[in-house]
Amino acid sequence: MTSVSRRLAEAAERIIPGGVNSATRSIGAPWAWRSAHGATMTDMDGGVYTDYHAAFGAILLGHSDERVNDAVTRAIADIDLVGVGTTELEVEAAQLIVDAIPSAEMVISTMSGSEATFQAVRLARGATGRPYILKFQGCFHGSYDALARNVISTPDRAWKRDPNSSGILDDAVDHTLIAEFNDLASVEELFALHPEQIAAVILEPVPHNVGALLPEQSFLEGLREITRKHGTVLIFDEVISGFRHALGGYQELCGVTPDLTTFGKAMGNGFPVAGLAGSAEIMSNFTPTGGTVMLAGTFNGNASSMAAAIATIKVLQDPEVDFYGHVYRLGDRMRTGLQSIADHLGIAARIAGIGSVFVPYFLEGEVRGYRDLLRNNTEANAAFHRRMIDKGSFMYPMALKRNHISLAHTEAHIDRTLAQAEDVLAAMAREGLFETARAVA
């Protein structure tokens, strides 16, 4: 008998390419969802899952948070989409962001992280008059042509020409240079090859699209020094790390201030909102201030997105809520628990992460950059996530993908997930999916 979820998915396939509106949503069962509240999601067949995927990290407070939903409802009762001038909501949201993010003197809003990074790259090129962008192997900055290359590359294509899609002009691909994360020498080499031609260096300060590569402090400080020396714009893409690891993003934690910062994903707790912040000097290159870099977007700063962002940020600021204390405690509990289970079973694993993010890498040795991730047991990594879904803990079933803890998660959620993980990993070890695993009784 075909499940309700599968029937809906088949109906979608007839009218939507592949039945999904984003390729990463096509993962097999569960195929379709009925509801999401707090830390759980329910599929169309009634299956309930503890959610650690969190819409790729967009959910900070928990699904359908009443504080955010109520703020949106109040806002749209008064105003929807005007598309001219500004609103109190836009100004309030912008002020909260300027107060929170160290690099922010001026702010624009967008609807998605891809739009934010697109604006950042165009602004950097417009401000410097230079053609090249430097990014890092393994970092993802959205679907914009100039940045859509060299994310999860196969060993034969890593650091080489590896566009994410067909249909991208050769010039767009070839004007983006690829360096290795936590490797300043690879950055300096590209600056030597392209003197006075690099408009911007863009990076996820924590490359979360390949799990959680943690940056070395000397690497981030070195990037700041190199970019200042060469008159290059330093862009931190904090679409994932922003608001999740600290109110001011990872730059607040590391003390390195970029020229531009993109953010989004979590700032609206599931509502479509993102943005770009930076120094007044650079941001003044946008056309509304008389500059030459076009800024446009009818939905930018719309009422529901601004209300969601304001409500979410205010919850994050509330000392009584103690968002960061809560998710950091649960994150430590999860990472420590998973590492202990793997060690007990003799499985080569590094449980990485920071704050609310945890990532199992199945490999031996240290993890500094993308080269190290090529040692990861990708089959076991994906299988672990898939089997955890089957147990009732939803983790995106692909190797290198991170997991997220929200304000709605509790110690009981974490402990239940750890018990499930122990069963799953023990079974995988018995089946020989880990070469270095001890025999498990």
Q: Can you tell me the distance from the alpha carbon of 96 to that of 1, in angstroms, rounded to the nearest whole number?
A: 52
Task: Write down the pLDDT at residue 410.
Answer: 98
Residue 404 vs residues 57, 335, 415: alpha-carbon distances, Å: 6, 11, 15
- Residue 54 has which token pair? 């969190």
Distance, C-alpha 22 to centroid of its chain: 15
Task: Write down the pLDDT at residue 162.
Answer: 83
Task: Write down the pLDDT at residue 127.
Answer: 97
Task: Write down the pLDDT at residue 440.
Answer: 33
H or E element at residue 90: helix 88-100
H or E element at residue 93: helix 88-100
Domain 66-317 is of which CATH architecture? 3-Layer(aba) Sandwich (3.40)
Per-domain residue ranges of the chain: 4-64+322-430, 66-317
Q: Which of 261, 255, 173, 187 is nearest to 227 (CA)?
A: 187
Buried b / exposed e along 119-142 (16+ C-beta atoms within 10 A):
bbbbbbbbbbebebbbbbbbbbbb
Q: pLDDT averaged over consecutive 10-residue blocks of the chain (441 residues)?
A: 85 92 87 96 95 97 98 95 93 97 97 95 97 95 88 88 88 94 97 98 96 96 98 97 97 98 95 97 96 94 97 98 98 98 96 97 93 94 96 95 97 98 97 64 31
DSSP label at residue 437: P
How big is the chain, counted in residues? Answer: 441
Task: Write down the pLDDT at residue 439.
Answer: 33
Query: What is the chain's percent helix, strand, coil content, to nearest 5?
Result: 40, 15, 40
Q: Are 269 and 261 in contact (CB under 8 A)?
A: no
- Residue 424 has which token pair? 């799953």
Task: Write down the pLDDT at residue 111.
Answer: 95
Q: Can you tell me the distance from the alpha carbon of 316 to that of 321, in angstroms, rounded to the nearest whole number?
A: 7
Supply the CATH classification number for the domain 4-64+322-430: 3.90.1150.10
Task: Write down the pLDDT at residue 2.
Answer: 66
Distance, C-alpha 309 to centroid of its chain: 17
Residue 161 vs residues 29, 146, 157, 237: alpha-carbon distances, Å: 34, 13, 7, 22
Task: Write down the pLDDT at residue 149.
Answer: 84
Task: Write down the pLDDT at residue 232.
Answer: 98
Q: What is the dihedral of CA 96, 101, 107, 108, to 10 degrees?
A: -90
Q: Can you tell me the distance from the alpha carbon of 265 to that of 60, in angstroms, rounded to the nearest whole number?
A: 9
Strand, coil or helix: 123: helix
Residue 64 vs residues 36, 312, 313, 379: alpha-carbon distances, Å: 7, 12, 15, 34
Packing angle of the helix pair 323-345, 303-317 (nearest 10 deg): 80
Task: Write down the pLDDT at residue 438.
Answer: 38
